[in-house]
Structure 1
Amino acid sequence: MEILHTGRFDLERAETAPGWMTELNGGHVPETEEYGTSSIVFRDHRPFHPQRLWDLLAGGLDAFGVVRSKGFLWSASRPDVQALWSQAGPSGPCDPVAAPVVVSGEWPEDPEERVELESRWHPVFGDRHQELVLIGVRLDSDGLRAALTAGLLTDAEITVGEDARRALPDPFCEWDLGDLHDHEHADPVPV
């Protein structure tokens, strides 16, 4: 009762406030400039090499200015599972969330979802992909993108076949895959 429907808001008066006029005259400094925040989206179909991904995360994403990151990823040693990555500060669980369509064979029933899935289908990897958003302060976008790309499998590593890729050194803890939608089995990773 003290805030809503009081009749105390006056649009004409608000429009003459100094902050309003500064904004209208283009004098406002966007937060991205004022605080140096920015983001990148990293996408690739190639899987991460589990040891190189671990090493990158152990080195700390903060070295690139990252303060928050989230998205989907997959590892060469775990090709049957898409994982959800969600990092904030020093905490970064990586949880199994779904079996990719290429593995499960379960296509979406919704026609729009199916069209979207088909539009990003890869001839070798199907719907498995990396899609991460990384947000930071004074973000080293080029360095971060290069480090993430270096964590992916090389062409030579891809050609060895899936069985050999499954046997790659994988320092991440095992996942309980009994229920791929159960996020209580977080895989703590160094960040």
Structure 2
Amino acid sequence: MSPAHSRLPVVLVAGLHAAVRRAAVDELLLASPGAQVLHHDLSTARDGVVRASVWDAAGTTRTHETPLVNDCACCALREDLVPELLRLADSGICSLAVVELWDSVEPKAMAEVVVGTPVGDRHSGAVLDVVGVVTAVDPELLLSSLGCGDDLAEHGLAAAPSDERTVADTLARQLEYANVLALAASEFPDPADLALLGQLHSTARRVTVGEGGLAAAARGGFDVRAAAERQHPACALLPQEADEHGVATVVWHRTRPFHPARLYAALEDLTCAAARSRGRFWLADRPDTLLMWDAAGGALCVEEAGPWLAALPDAAWELVPPARRVAAALDWHPDHGDRAQHLTFTSPGLDRDGLLRALEGCLLTDAEYAAGPESWQHLPHAFDDLLAPVR
């Protein structure tokens, strides 16, 4: 293949646990002849720049600085990432690009940047191919990190002044997007830590750093579109019921809407009931809107995630991705279509019975349900402060 049409495999390595992340990067570099590492250090953003470094097995080969974009370090990273990777591809000597993402950078956005620039829009004809996404994690730090509701800014990890993410939700998304989890080596790993990791992302391949096998796992192939669908609340591949070593996952599925005021009153208790919870839900006063539930570390994000398919005209279904249609078909109800509650809760020491009682108590009662959709529109619009007001 000529340099003008070269293909450069790219592996992204993410993770808040910097020591194990760097160990994973070092292993990939040493196990892959011709590999080079690209890293953007966002900690220099306070000086108005992001510092990029490229190195190979022999040491650092090149550094440069790129200015912030819109006062956002992560935006500067996005602007600089593809040109740097294309430069490596055009060099003709790089066999694998290992992108070590800075602590709080989430791999989903970076993977989509790498594959999202058409070849025709580039000066280079190189093809960038994301072949793996690795999240490095220390199981001994997993529970404390997942329980940390602090803003990233409190730990010097915010990517922009407007970055309101927390330590917990950032780590959760880093873990759940990757297809490989690189674990810190431990002589006596705690089975509960490993159980928690497995229940958060049961389909990821787990490899212990330093034991070999990481390079092969990291280059096993990655589908960026499928990974995004796996995280989208409408068709997410959610965890399955589990209970091992004191760690449990509860999957709750119902085809009756929530009473908005009762659910709103229970949000704090439900959010704090588990280390991690996520999924999709249906409010009685918002019959057309699929809502996302995303909670970690005692903090909850509720957002509109588009319409339920049952609210769309038939002609619009052809515009919906196949994975979304499949997910809707699995939830389909003769009266409500795909409208449903589908939430999962994962945590050590999970109070299953108490959680289920709290959730069931938030649904419409038999009398409220029997009153019908027109009546539901007159229920208190309790979520107007979190979402756009009901029209």
What is the TM-score when the length of structure 2 is the normalising length? 0.36
Q: Is 2:275 aligned against 1:70? A: no
1:1-191 pair list within 5 angstroms: 3=27, 4-5=30-31, 29-31=191-193, 32=195, 36-59=246-269, 61-62=271-272, 64=273, 66-105=274-313, 106-107=316-317, 114=325, 116-173=327-384, 175-176=387-388
TM-superposition CA deviations, 1:76-109 (whole Å, max 9, x none) = 0111100011011231111001111111123356
Evaluate the alpha carbon distance shift between residue 57 and residue 176 of structure 1 in structure 2; reply closer, same or farther with a 3 A threshold: closer
Superposition deviation, residue 6 in structure 1? 8.5
Mapped to 1, the partners of 2:271 and 2:322 lie a distance apart of: 38
Mapped to 2, the partners of 1:2 and 1:78 lie a distance apart of: 50
Q: Which amino acid aligns with 1:146?
A: R
Q: Which amino acid aligns with 2:253?
A: R
Count of residues in Structure 1 that have an aligned counterpart in Structure 2: 158
Superposition deviation, residue 53 in structure 1? 0.6
Q: Which amino acid aligns with 2:338?
A: D
Q: Which amino acid aligns with 1:88?
A: A
Quick check: 2:258–2:282 contact (8 Å CA) kept in 1? yes
Mapped to 2, the partners of 1:67 and 1:126 lie a distance apart of: 31
Q: Which amino acid aligns with 1:102?
A: A
Evaluate the alpha carbon distance shift between residue 111 and residue 81 of structure 1 in structure 2; reply closer, same or farther with a 3 A threshold: closer
Higher-helix-fraction structure? 2
Identity %: 33
Q: Following superposition, which runs of at least 4 residues in structure 1 exceed 2 angstroms of deviation?
A: 28-34, 58-62, 105-120, 173-177
Compare relative contact order (CA 8 Å, sep 6+) and give the higher one, 1 or 2: 1
Evaluate the alpha carbon distance shift between residue 173 and residue 136 of structure 1 in structure 2; reply closer, same or farther with a 3 A threshold: same
Mapped to 2, the partners of 1:172 and 1:104 lie a distance apart of: 23
Q: Which amino acid aligns with 2:252?
A: F
Unaligned runs of 5+ in 1: 8-17, 178-191
Quick check: 2:270–2:355 contact (8 Å CA) kept in 1? no
Mapped to 2, the partners of 1:117 and 1:84 lie a distance apart of: 15
Mapped to 2, the partners of 1:72 and 1:151 lie a distance apart of: 15
RMSD: 3.0
Evaluate the alpha carbon distance shift between residue 103 and residue 38 of structure 1 in structure 2; reply closer, same or farther with a 3 A threshold: same
Mapped to 1, the partners of 2:270 and 2:330 lie a distance apart of: 34
